[in-house]
Amino acid sequence: MRIERLEATPLEIPFKVSFKHTSADRAKTASVWVEAHATHGGIIVGYGEGCPREYVTGESLKSALDWIARNKSSIVNEVTGLESLKEWVAKQEQTIDKDPAAWCAVELALLDLLGKSQGQSLEALLSLPSLPSAFQYSAVLGDSDLAGFSKQVLKYVSVGFGDFKIKLSGDLEKDSAKIACLNSAGVPVKIRGDANNLWREPSEVIAYLDRLGHPFWALEEPLAPRDFAGMSKIAAHTGIKIILDESFTRAQDLRDIEDTPDLWLLNLRVSKLGGLMRSLDLLKHARSSGIKVIIGAHVGETSVLSRAGLTLAAVADDSRVAMEGAFGTHLLEHDVCDPSLMFGKGGRLCPEEWYFKTGTGCGLNIGEK
Protein backbone atom coordinates (compact mmCIF):
# COMPACT_ATOMS: atom_id res chain seq x y z
CA MET A 1 0.00 0.00 0.00
CA ARG A 2 1.26 3.47 -0.86
CA ILE A 3 0.05 6.46 1.18
CA GLU A 4 -0.88 9.06 -1.41
CA ARG A 5 -1.97 11.86 0.88
CA LEU A 6 -1.66 12.57 4.59
CA GLU A 7 -3.51 15.67 5.76
CA ALA A 8 -3.81 17.04 9.29
CA THR A 9 -6.27 19.75 10.32
CA PRO A 10 -7.69 21.07 13.60
CA LEU A 11 -11.02 19.53 14.58
CA GLU A 12 -13.32 21.84 16.49
CA ILE A 13 -16.77 20.55 17.41
CA PRO A 14 -18.86 22.57 19.91
CA PHE A 15 -19.88 20.91 23.19
CA LYS A 16 -23.52 20.82 24.23
CA VAL A 17 -22.48 22.03 27.67
CA SER A 18 -19.20 23.65 28.54
CA PHE A 19 -17.18 20.96 30.33
CA LYS A 20 -15.11 22.36 33.14
CA HIS A 21 -11.79 20.72 33.88
CA THR A 22 -9.52 21.72 36.76
CA SER A 23 -6.75 22.57 34.33
CA ALA A 24 -8.69 23.81 31.31
CA ASP A 25 -11.99 25.35 30.37
CA ARG A 26 -13.32 24.59 26.94
CA ALA A 27 -16.56 24.86 25.01
CA LYS A 28 -15.44 22.81 22.00
CA THR A 29 -13.10 19.99 21.06
CA ALA A 30 -9.42 20.76 20.53
CA SER A 31 -8.29 17.83 18.45
CA VAL A 32 -6.09 16.99 15.50
CA TRP A 33 -7.84 15.26 12.64
CA VAL A 34 -5.87 13.22 10.13
CA GLU A 35 -6.97 11.78 6.80
CA ALA A 36 -4.76 9.31 4.97
CA HIS A 37 -5.53 8.43 1.35
CA ALA A 38 -4.52 5.45 -0.75
CA THR A 39 -5.79 3.82 -3.91
CA HIS A 40 -7.17 0.31 -3.66
CA GLY A 41 -9.74 -0.29 -6.34
CA GLY A 42 -10.99 3.27 -5.77
CA ILE A 43 -9.71 5.85 -3.35
CA ILE A 44 -9.83 4.73 0.28
CA VAL A 45 -9.48 7.05 3.27
CA GLY A 46 -8.33 6.30 6.82
CA TYR A 47 -9.29 8.62 9.67
CA GLY A 48 -7.42 9.41 12.85
CA GLU A 49 -7.73 11.70 15.84
CA GLY A 50 -5.45 12.93 18.61
CA CYS A 51 -6.10 15.18 21.61
CA PRO A 52 -3.01 17.28 22.37
CA ARG A 53 -3.27 18.54 25.96
CA GLU A 54 -0.79 21.00 27.43
CA TYR A 55 -1.50 19.76 30.99
CA VAL A 56 -1.01 16.07 30.11
CA THR A 57 1.70 15.76 27.47
CA GLY A 58 2.79 19.39 27.01
CA GLU A 59 1.37 19.39 23.48
CA SER A 60 -0.80 22.03 21.85
CA LEU A 61 -2.87 21.94 18.71
CA LYS A 62 -0.14 23.93 16.98
CA SER A 63 2.72 21.73 18.18
CA ALA A 64 0.84 18.62 17.05
CA LEU A 65 0.17 20.02 13.58
CA ASP A 66 3.80 21.15 13.32
CA TRP A 67 5.01 17.68 14.37
CA ILE A 68 2.93 16.03 11.67
CA ALA A 69 4.18 18.51 9.05
CA ARG A 70 7.80 17.77 10.08
CA ASN A 71 7.40 13.97 10.01
CA LYS A 72 4.98 13.60 7.14
CA SER A 73 7.43 12.78 4.35
CA SER A 74 9.25 10.19 6.47
CA ILE A 75 5.93 8.51 7.34
CA VAL A 76 4.61 8.58 3.77
CA ASN A 77 7.88 7.25 2.36
CA GLU A 78 8.53 4.55 4.93
CA VAL A 79 5.13 3.15 5.94
CA THR A 80 3.69 0.72 3.41
CA GLY A 81 2.07 -1.87 5.68
CA LEU A 82 1.66 -3.01 9.27
CA GLU A 83 5.27 -4.19 9.64
CA SER A 84 6.77 -0.93 8.41
CA LEU A 85 4.31 0.96 10.62
CA LYS A 86 5.56 -0.99 13.64
CA GLU A 87 9.15 -0.35 12.60
CA TRP A 88 8.49 3.38 12.34
CA VAL A 89 7.00 3.41 15.85
CA ALA A 90 9.97 1.49 17.30
CA LYS A 91 12.54 3.65 15.53
CA GLN A 92 10.84 6.92 16.53
CA GLU A 93 10.07 6.01 20.15
CA GLN A 94 11.66 9.12 21.63
CA THR A 95 10.14 11.42 19.01
CA ILE A 96 6.69 10.00 19.75
CA ASP A 97 7.28 10.24 23.53
CA LYS A 98 7.40 14.04 23.12
CA ASP A 99 4.37 14.35 20.80
CA PRO A 100 2.17 11.32 21.49
CA ALA A 101 -1.18 12.84 20.53
CA ALA A 102 0.18 14.04 17.19
CA TRP A 103 1.41 10.55 16.35
CA CYS A 104 -1.81 9.00 17.66
CA ALA A 105 -3.84 10.91 15.07
CA VAL A 106 -1.54 9.69 12.29
CA GLU A 107 -1.35 6.11 13.54
CA LEU A 108 -5.13 5.68 13.88
CA ALA A 109 -5.60 7.01 10.34
CA LEU A 110 -2.99 4.57 9.01
CA LEU A 111 -4.45 1.58 10.88
CA ASP A 112 -7.91 2.46 9.54
CA LEU A 113 -6.44 2.77 6.04
CA LEU A 114 -4.56 -0.54 6.30
CA GLY A 115 -7.65 -2.33 7.59
CA LYS A 116 -9.72 -0.96 4.73
CA SER A 117 -7.08 -1.82 2.12
CA GLN A 118 -6.88 -5.41 3.43
CA GLY A 119 -10.61 -5.86 4.09
CA GLN A 120 -9.95 -6.39 7.81
CA SER A 121 -11.30 -4.91 11.03
CA LEU A 122 -8.87 -3.23 13.45
CA GLU A 123 -8.91 -6.40 15.55
CA ALA A 124 -8.21 -8.73 12.62
CA LEU A 125 -5.47 -6.43 11.31
CA LEU A 126 -3.71 -6.45 14.69
CA SER A 127 -4.34 -10.19 15.29
CA LEU A 128 -6.49 -9.47 18.35
CA PRO A 129 -9.66 -11.23 19.50
CA SER A 130 -12.89 -9.68 18.27
CA LEU A 131 -14.85 -7.32 20.51
CA PRO A 132 -17.10 -8.66 23.27
CA SER A 133 -20.84 -8.00 23.07
CA ALA A 134 -20.91 -5.14 25.60
CA PHE A 135 -18.69 -2.66 27.43
CA GLN A 136 -19.60 -1.04 30.74
CA TYR A 137 -18.69 2.64 31.14
CA SER A 138 -18.43 4.68 34.31
CA ALA A 139 -19.79 8.21 34.65
CA VAL A 140 -17.38 11.14 34.78
CA LEU A 141 -18.67 14.25 36.51
CA GLY A 142 -17.11 17.59 35.58
CA ASP A 143 -16.11 20.27 38.05
CA SER A 144 -19.30 22.32 37.71
CA ASP A 145 -21.16 24.14 40.51
CA LEU A 146 -23.35 22.10 42.84
CA ALA A 147 -26.59 22.79 40.97
CA GLY A 148 -25.09 21.66 37.67
CA PHE A 149 -23.46 18.71 39.38
CA SER A 150 -26.77 17.51 40.91
CA LYS A 151 -28.42 17.75 37.52
CA GLN A 152 -25.63 15.66 35.97
CA VAL A 153 -25.92 13.07 38.74
CA LEU A 154 -29.68 12.74 38.27
CA LYS A 155 -29.20 12.31 34.56
CA TYR A 156 -26.52 9.63 35.00
CA VAL A 157 -28.56 7.78 37.63
CA SER A 158 -31.65 7.84 35.42
CA VAL A 159 -29.60 6.24 32.63
CA GLY A 160 -28.51 3.53 35.08
CA PHE A 161 -24.93 4.45 36.04
CA GLY A 162 -23.64 3.42 39.48
CA ASP A 163 -19.88 3.88 38.99
CA PHE A 164 -18.72 7.50 39.21
CA LYS A 165 -15.58 9.58 38.95
CA ILE A 166 -15.65 13.11 40.34
CA LYS A 167 -13.20 15.92 39.81
CA LEU A 168 -11.95 17.38 43.08
CA SER A 169 -11.67 21.13 43.57
CA GLY A 170 -9.78 21.20 46.89
CA ASP A 171 -12.64 23.26 48.36
CA LEU A 172 -13.74 21.02 51.23
CA GLU A 173 -17.29 22.33 51.46
CA LYS A 174 -17.87 21.98 47.73
CA ASP A 175 -16.30 18.52 47.43
CA SER A 176 -18.16 17.23 50.51
CA ALA A 177 -21.46 18.49 49.11
CA LYS A 178 -20.82 16.65 45.83
CA ILE A 179 -20.02 13.40 47.60
CA ALA A 180 -23.15 13.79 49.75
CA CYS A 181 -25.15 14.41 46.57
CA LEU A 182 -23.86 11.14 45.06
CA ASN A 183 -24.42 9.19 48.26
CA SER A 184 -28.04 10.35 48.40
CA ALA A 185 -28.72 9.53 44.74
CA GLY A 186 -30.93 6.61 45.77
CA VAL A 187 -28.78 3.92 44.15
CA PRO A 188 -25.63 2.16 45.39
CA VAL A 189 -22.68 4.18 44.13
CA LYS A 190 -18.99 3.53 43.74
CA ILE A 191 -16.86 6.70 43.65
CA ARG A 192 -13.33 7.52 42.61
CA GLY A 193 -11.82 10.99 42.73
CA ASP A 194 -9.59 12.84 40.27
CA ALA A 195 -7.48 15.60 41.81
CA ASN A 196 -5.62 16.60 38.63
CA ASN A 197 -2.40 17.31 40.57
CA LEU A 198 -3.99 19.62 43.16
CA TRP A 199 -1.62 19.08 46.10
CA ARG A 200 2.11 19.05 46.75
CA GLU A 201 2.49 17.11 50.04
CA PRO A 202 1.18 13.60 50.85
CA SER A 203 0.19 14.86 54.33
CA GLU A 204 -2.16 17.45 52.79
CA VAL A 205 -3.91 14.75 50.77
CA ILE A 206 -4.18 12.36 53.71
CA ALA A 207 -5.68 15.12 55.87
CA TYR A 208 -8.13 16.10 53.13
CA LEU A 209 -9.29 12.51 52.65
CA ASP A 210 -9.81 12.27 56.42
CA ARG A 211 -12.00 15.37 56.38
CA LEU A 212 -13.99 14.00 53.43
CA GLY A 213 -14.56 10.74 55.33
CA HIS A 214 -12.67 8.48 52.88
CA PRO A 215 -15.35 8.28 50.19
CA PHE A 216 -13.13 6.89 47.39
CA TRP A 217 -11.94 3.43 46.42
CA ALA A 218 -9.32 5.04 44.19
CA LEU A 219 -7.83 8.51 43.81
CA GLU A 220 -6.35 9.90 40.61
CA GLU A 221 -3.30 12.17 40.51
CA PRO A 222 -3.33 13.78 43.97
CA LEU A 223 0.23 15.20 43.75
CA ALA A 224 2.52 16.73 41.13
CA PRO A 225 2.94 14.48 38.08
CA ARG A 226 5.43 11.62 38.68
CA ASP A 227 5.80 12.18 42.43
CA PHE A 228 5.68 8.39 42.72
CA ALA A 229 7.29 8.38 46.18
CA GLY A 230 4.72 10.83 47.54
CA MET A 231 1.80 8.99 45.96
CA SER A 232 3.05 5.65 47.36
CA LYS A 233 2.91 7.19 50.84
CA ILE A 234 -0.74 8.16 50.33
CA ALA A 235 -1.66 4.70 49.05
CA ALA A 236 0.18 2.94 51.88
CA HIS A 237 -1.33 5.19 54.54
CA THR A 238 -4.94 5.20 53.33
CA GLY A 239 -5.27 1.87 51.51
CA ILE A 240 -6.75 3.79 48.58
CA LYS A 241 -5.39 2.88 45.15
CA ILE A 242 -3.69 5.69 43.26
CA ILE A 243 -4.66 6.12 39.61
CA LEU A 244 -1.85 7.43 37.41
CA ASP A 245 -2.94 9.65 34.56
CA GLU A 246 -0.76 12.73 34.02
CA SER A 247 2.06 10.64 35.59
CA PHE A 248 1.70 7.90 33.01
CA THR A 249 2.33 8.81 29.39
CA ARG A 250 5.29 6.61 28.41
CA ALA A 251 6.99 3.28 29.06
CA GLN A 252 9.49 4.69 31.58
CA ASP A 253 6.64 5.70 33.93
CA LEU A 254 5.50 2.09 34.11
CA ARG A 255 9.04 0.87 34.77
CA ASP A 256 9.23 3.36 37.66
CA ILE A 257 6.26 1.83 39.53
CA GLU A 258 6.09 -1.81 38.45
CA ASP A 259 7.70 -3.08 41.69
CA THR A 260 4.65 -2.08 43.76
CA PRO A 261 1.73 -3.17 41.54
CA ASP A 262 -0.84 -3.24 44.34
CA LEU A 263 -0.65 0.50 44.96
CA TRP A 264 -1.53 1.63 41.46
CA LEU A 265 -4.08 1.72 38.69
CA LEU A 266 -3.15 3.07 35.27
CA ASN A 267 -5.37 5.37 33.27
CA LEU A 268 -4.76 4.31 29.66
CA ARG A 269 -5.77 6.88 27.08
CA VAL A 270 -4.82 6.06 23.52
CA SER A 271 -4.08 9.68 22.60
CA LYS A 272 -1.70 10.58 25.44
CA LEU A 273 0.09 7.21 25.10
CA GLY A 274 0.94 7.78 21.45
CA GLY A 275 -1.56 5.62 19.62
CA LEU A 276 -3.10 2.19 19.78
CA MET A 277 -0.04 0.01 19.23
CA ARG A 278 1.98 1.69 21.98
CA SER A 279 -1.07 1.55 24.28
CA LEU A 280 -1.38 -2.18 23.59
CA ASP A 281 2.31 -2.69 24.44
CA LEU A 282 1.94 -0.74 27.70
CA LEU A 283 -1.19 -2.69 28.56
CA LYS A 284 0.69 -5.96 28.03
CA HIS A 285 3.48 -4.71 30.30
CA ALA A 286 0.95 -3.60 32.96
CA ARG A 287 -0.83 -6.96 32.88
CA SER A 288 2.39 -8.91 33.21
CA SER A 289 3.29 -6.74 36.23
CA GLY A 290 -0.12 -7.37 37.79
CA ILE A 291 -1.28 -3.74 37.52
CA LYS A 292 -4.97 -3.14 36.81
CA VAL A 293 -6.08 -0.48 34.37
CA ILE A 294 -8.79 2.02 33.56
CA ILE A 295 -9.49 2.68 29.89
CA GLY A 296 -9.75 6.45 29.90
CA ALA A 297 -10.61 9.20 27.46
CA HIS A 298 -9.96 12.88 26.95
CA VAL A 299 -12.93 15.20 27.16
CA GLY A 300 -14.15 15.83 23.63
CA GLU A 301 -12.94 12.65 21.97
CA THR A 302 -15.02 11.72 18.95
CA SER A 303 -16.09 8.22 17.95
CA VAL A 304 -12.67 7.59 16.38
CA LEU A 305 -10.82 7.61 19.71
CA SER A 306 -13.72 5.88 21.45
CA ARG A 307 -13.44 3.10 18.85
CA ALA A 308 -9.70 2.70 19.51
CA GLY A 309 -10.49 2.54 23.24
CA LEU A 310 -12.74 -0.46 22.63
CA THR A 311 -9.87 -2.41 21.08
CA LEU A 312 -7.75 -1.66 24.14
CA ALA A 313 -10.57 -2.45 26.57
CA ALA A 314 -11.22 -5.81 24.94
CA VAL A 315 -7.56 -6.79 25.27
CA ALA A 316 -7.44 -5.53 28.88
CA ASP A 317 -10.25 -7.97 29.69
CA ASP A 318 -10.23 -8.83 33.42
CA SER A 319 -7.41 -6.42 34.24
CA ARG A 320 -9.78 -3.55 33.40
CA VAL A 321 -11.54 -2.03 36.41
CA ALA A 322 -13.37 0.85 34.68
CA MET A 323 -13.95 2.61 31.37
CA GLU A 324 -14.44 6.31 30.71
CA GLY A 325 -15.54 8.26 27.66
CA ALA A 326 -17.72 7.28 24.69
CA PHE A 327 -19.75 10.43 25.20
CA GLY A 328 -20.39 10.86 21.48
CA THR A 329 -23.30 13.22 20.91
CA HIS A 330 -24.22 13.18 24.61
CA LEU A 331 -21.49 15.86 24.72
CA LEU A 332 -20.70 16.86 21.11
CA GLU A 333 -23.07 18.97 19.00
CA HIS A 334 -22.29 16.51 16.21
CA ASP A 335 -19.85 13.66 15.74
CA VAL A 336 -17.55 12.76 12.84
CA CYS A 337 -19.68 9.73 12.02
CA ASP A 338 -23.29 8.73 12.00
CA PRO A 339 -24.33 6.95 14.12
CA SER A 340 -22.12 8.32 16.87
CA LEU A 341 -20.37 5.62 18.90
CA MET A 342 -21.47 6.19 22.50
CA PHE A 343 -22.77 4.58 25.66
CA GLY A 344 -26.48 3.97 26.02
CA LYS A 345 -28.76 2.54 28.67
CA GLY A 346 -27.02 1.45 31.86
CA GLY A 347 -23.81 3.08 30.60
CA ARG A 348 -23.29 0.16 28.27
CA LEU A 349 -21.98 0.22 24.73
CA CYS A 350 -22.86 -2.77 22.59
CA PRO A 351 -20.68 -3.08 19.47
CA GLU A 352 -23.24 -5.14 17.59
CA GLU A 353 -25.43 -2.05 17.50
CA TRP A 354 -22.82 -0.53 15.21
CA TYR A 355 -21.98 -1.93 11.86
CA PHE A 356 -18.25 -1.91 12.56
CA LYS A 357 -18.32 -5.40 13.95
CA THR A 358 -18.38 -6.55 10.37
CA GLY A 359 -16.91 -3.38 8.84
CA THR A 360 -13.30 -2.89 7.81
CA GLY A 361 -10.75 -0.62 9.48
CA CYS A 362 -12.34 1.18 12.42
CA GLY A 363 -15.69 0.43 10.74
CA LEU A 364 -17.25 3.81 11.50
CA ASN A 365 -19.46 5.55 8.98
CA ILE A 366 -17.36 8.69 8.54
CA GLY A 367 -18.39 11.11 5.83
CA GLU A 368 -16.92 14.37 4.67
CA LYS A 369 -16.06 16.53 7.64
Identity of the residue, 59 or 245, whose beta carbon is nearer to Mg ion in the bound complex = 245
Identity of the residue, 163 or 220, whose beta carbon is nearer to Mg ion in the bound complex = 220
Minimal distance, residue 89 CB to Mg ion, in Å? 25
How long is the chain?
Answer: 369
Q: Tell me the per-residue interface mask from 267 to 286 with Mg ion, x by CB under 5 A, - otherwise.
A: --------------------
- In the window 209-228, what residues touch Mg ion (CB under 5 A)? 220
Beta-carbon count within 10 A of 204 CB: 15
Q: What are the beta bridge partners of residue 220?
A: 194, 243
| From 58-66, 67-75, 241-249, 303-311, span contacting Mg ion (CB under 5 A) | 241-249
Identity of the residue, 199 or 354, whose beta carbon is nearer to Mg ion in the bound complex = 199
Point out the residue whose Cβ comes nearest to Mg ion: 245
- In the window 177-216, what residues touch Mg ion (CB under 5 A)? 194
Cβ pair 91, 19 in contact under 8 A = no
Minimal distance, residue 166 CB to Mg ion, in Å? 11
Identity of the residue, 216 or 356, whose beta carbon is nearer to Mg ion in the bound complex = 216
Evaluated on CA atoms 137, 141, 147, 148, the torsion sign reads negative
Identity of the residue, 109 or 265, whose beta carbon is nearer to Mg ion in the bound complex = 265
Which amino acid would we find at residue 24?
A
| From 122-130, 240-248, 308-316, 352-360, span contacting Mg ion (CB under 5 A) | 240-248
CA–chain centroid gap for 307, Å, is 11
Minimal distance, residue 13 CB to Mg ion, in Å? 21
Q: Does 301 bind Mg ion (CB under 5 A)?
A: no
**Distance, CA of 51 to CA of 278 (rounded, Å):** 16
End-to-end CA separation in angstroms for the chain: 24
Number of residues binding to Mg ion, judged by CB under 5 A: 3
- Give me the helices (H) in the chain, please: 54-57, 61-78, 82-91, 93-98, 100-118, 122-125, 146-159, 172-183, 202-212, 228-238, 251-257, 276-289, 303-316
Identity of the residue, 13 or 242, whose beta carbon is nearer to Mg ion in the bound complex = 242
The residue from 107, 245, 301, 335 that contacts Mg ion (CB under 5 A) is 245
Minimal distance, residue 229 CB to Mg ion, in Å? 20
Residue 72 burial (10 A CB sphere; 0-12, 13-18, 19+): middle
* Contacting positions for Mg ion (CB under 5 A): 194, 220, 245
